[in-house]
A = this chain, B = another copy of it.
Amino acid sequence: MSRPLVVDSVAALRAQVRDWRRDGLNIAMVPTMGALHDGHISLVEIALEKADRCVVSIFVNPTQFAPSEDLDKYPRQLARDLERLRQAGAQLAFTPAVKQMYPAGFATKISVGGPAAGLESDFRPTFFDGVATVVAKLFLQASPDFAVFGEKDYQQLCVVRQLCRDLDMPVEIIGAPTVRDAHGLAMSSRNAYLGDAELEVARQLNAILRRAAVALAAGTNEDSATAEASRALVKAGFDKVDYVAARESLTLAPWRLGRDGRLLAAAWLGKTRLIDNVEVLSA
């Protein structure tokens, strides 16, 4: 595979996309914040199954971090990311500077309701405004036919779908299965923050959620099942549980037995916040 073309300006991005379109090629985008892992690479692979060309954006978006969060220490490793993209066959890496994305005087915000309500928003109240605004910008900059997002950030995937439907963005959103290590831990750039002992605890998150999802599908009362899962997380060694909650798969409205559901959770290990989610099978 050859190295991806690396561009940091919207003009250069659009020029390349225009050339591809003139050649009749279609385009899939994978928005990322860099620190690429196997999860991201699986998104690139799915993108290249759907489209002729894959654009990967690498941009640590400051507007989706709260002042108290880990913007400054978020891992940045561009050279390594570009090597991984070369191996995966992505054709273009878009690496805008913050001032390219948010020039002086920038003053626009997109707020999505519906699936953005609750869960992450209860703990990161401005997070999805930041995500929706940057995703809209990236789509308007690159004008992809497809965009691939991981189910690991399940609520984000639902919010992006809602954004595109509501604003008539001509982009098909593709959700991709979460990539996990051999112990079930979902790949995340934030896993790099974990020490060895924390990693052992983190690896129990998915199993605890899967157990709770089976109980829910079998008819266990929702409050009991999620409370039990929270207790199990603390017992496993998590320091704090932000939420464990069952929701309808598409709308993230309250879940009811017999409907396709998703069980979502966020919990802290020291200063690291992990999220995960699993399917709740309808009976």
Contact = CB atoms under 8 A, between A and B. Distances in A.
Among A140, A141, A162, A168, find the residue whose CB has the most chain B CB atoms closer than 10 A. A168
A278 to B, nearest CB: 25
B110 A109 contact: yes
Contact of A167 (B108, B113, B116, B168): B108
Interface residues of A, number: 28
Given A110-B110, A111-B111, A136 B105 contact: no
Nearest to A109: B111
A132 interface: yes
A112 interface: yes
B251 A105 contact: yes
A6 interface: no
Contact of A108 (B108, B132, B137): B132
A167 B251 contact: no
A273 to B, nearest CB: 26
In the complex, the count of this chain's copies comes to 2
B169 A140 contact: yes
Contacts of A166: 106-108, 137
Contacts of A111: 108-111
A227 B132 CA distance: 43
A101 to B, nearest CB: 9
Given A14-B170, A140-B169, A167-B137, A114 B109 contact: no
18 contacts: A10-B168, A105-B114, A105-B162, A105-B251, A106-B166, A107-B112, A107-B113, A107-B114, A107-B116, A107-B162, A107-B166, A108-B110, A108-B111, A108-B163, A108-B166, A109-B110, A137-B168, A140-B170
Q: Report the 9 A-B pairs with minimum CB-CB distance, sorted nearest first.
A: A107-B113, A108-B166, A107-B114, A140-B168, A141-B168, A109-B111, A108-B112, A137-B168, A110-B110
